[in-house]
């Protein structure tokens, strides 16, 4: 895809991701798509429909820098997984207890969102299964690294990361951590994820729940 083009919205990005997979779909018949809420869910939903694969979610949360929460100093995921950027922590003199407090706070939020999104539905079993991790883009890659760590810990057999757009350095780093990376746009002048979408409104919890319910209903009907 031309780096000068932009996606219409997250659903369009997911459709383009499905096309980008082409024939490079290892063990696709058994693969599970895990979207990172919230923005990754519309992308994952469209990708799942395009590839004919089941959809679920994998929750991770960024760790905001104390006093500057818009900047990430790492991320956490389910099963007490945490990824901390030691360079950022040292540069901004973040104390260990501040990091620990941020982790506990975000783990609680993950637990609450698990309950909100799943409504009693159990977490999927990843042991020995190919997994495709999906988000709406990667800037620093902190959230995706946490997702990779969670999927590995749960025994995923073959790990693919699929994102519509990513910063070049992040893309290169993530590629070394997984079995496959699918990313149609890797612009030299990245800027921000939202710059590569014409419509990049915040994905709300209601949309996440709606798309998951729709995907799970369709999966049940085709089971």
pLDDT for the residue 180: 94
> Which pTM was predicted?
0.88
Burial 88-107 (b: 16+ CB within 10 A, else e): bbeeeebeeebbeebbeebb
The answer to whether position 5 is within a domain reads: no
Residue 149: give its domain's CATH number.
Answer: 3.40.50.2020
pLDDT string in tens for the chain (223-residue length): 555 689 999 999 999 999 998 755 554 668 999 999 999 999 999 999 999 999 999 999 889 999 988 788 988 888 888 889 899 999 999 999 999 999 999 999 999 999 999 888 888 999 999 999 999 999 989 889 989 998 998 899 899 999 999 999 999 999 999 999 999 999 998 989 999 999 999 999 999 999 999 999 988 776 6
Q: Residue 43, CB half-sphere, CA atoms under 13 Å: how many?
A: 29
| pLDDT the model gives residue 25 | 56
b/e map 126-143, b = 16+ CB within 10 Å: beebbbbbbbbbbbbbbb
At 83 the pLDDT is 86
Question: Of 117, 137, 155, which residue constitutes the final position of a domain?
Answer: 117
Same domain, 50 and 69: no
Give residue 100's domain range: 62-117
Say if 24 falls within a structural domain.
yes
72 within domain boundaries? yes
DSSP label of 185: B
Sequence-ordered alpha helix ranges (H) in the chain: 10-21, 40-51, 86-91, 96-118, 142-153, 168-175, 205-222
177 and 138 share one domain: yes
Do both 80 and 44 map to the same domain? no
Residues 83, 133 within the same domain: no
The answer to whether position 23 is within a domain reads yes
Provide φ and ψ at 33, rounded to 5°. Answer: -90, 125
Alpha-carbon distance of 34 to 114, in angstroms, equals 13
Task: Point out the domain boundary residue: 117, 137, 164.
Answer: 117
Residue 140 near residue 174, CB atoms below 8 Å: no
Residue 151 shares a structural domain with residue 179:
yes
What are the distances in angstroms from CA 78 to CA 6, 82, 175?
32, 9, 22
| Number of domains present in the structure of the chain | 2
Q: Give domain status of residue 221, yes or no.
A: no
What integer pLDDT is reported at residue 2 of this predicted model?
55
Residue 87 included in any domain: yes
Residues 43 and 146 placed together within one structural domain of the fold: yes
Q: Quick one: 79 and 137 in the same domain?
A: no
d(CA 46, CA 175): 23
Residues 69 and 53 in one domain: no
138 and 198 within one domain:
yes
């Amino acid at each position: 895809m031309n780096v000068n083009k932009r996606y219409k919205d997250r659903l369009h990005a997911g459709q383009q991701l499905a096309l980008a997979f082409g024939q490079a779909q290892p063990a696709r018949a058994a693969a599970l798509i895990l979207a990172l809420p919230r923005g990754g869910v519309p992308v994952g939903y469209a990708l799942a429909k395009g590839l004919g694969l089941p959809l679920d979610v994998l929750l991770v949360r960024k760790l905001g820098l104390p006093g500057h929460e818009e900047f990430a100093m790492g991320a956490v995921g389910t099963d007490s997984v945490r990824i901390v950027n030691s360079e950022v922590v040292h540069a901004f003199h973040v104390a260990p207890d501040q990091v620990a407090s941020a982790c506990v706070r975000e783990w609680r939020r993950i637990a609450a969102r698990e309950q909100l999104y799943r409504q009693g539905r159990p977490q999927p079993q990843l042991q020995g299964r190919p997994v495709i991790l999906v988000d709406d883009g990667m800037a620093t890659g902190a959230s995706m690294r946490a997702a990779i760590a969670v999927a590995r810990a749960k025994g995923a057999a073959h790990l693919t990361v699929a994102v519509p757009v990513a910063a070049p350095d992040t893309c290169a780093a993530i590629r070394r951590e997984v079995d496959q990376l699918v990313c149609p746009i890797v612009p030299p002048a990245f800027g921000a994820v939202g710059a590569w979408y014409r419509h990049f409104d915040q994905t709300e919890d209601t949309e996440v729940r709606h798309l998951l319910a729709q995907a799970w209903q369709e999966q049940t009907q085709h089971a």
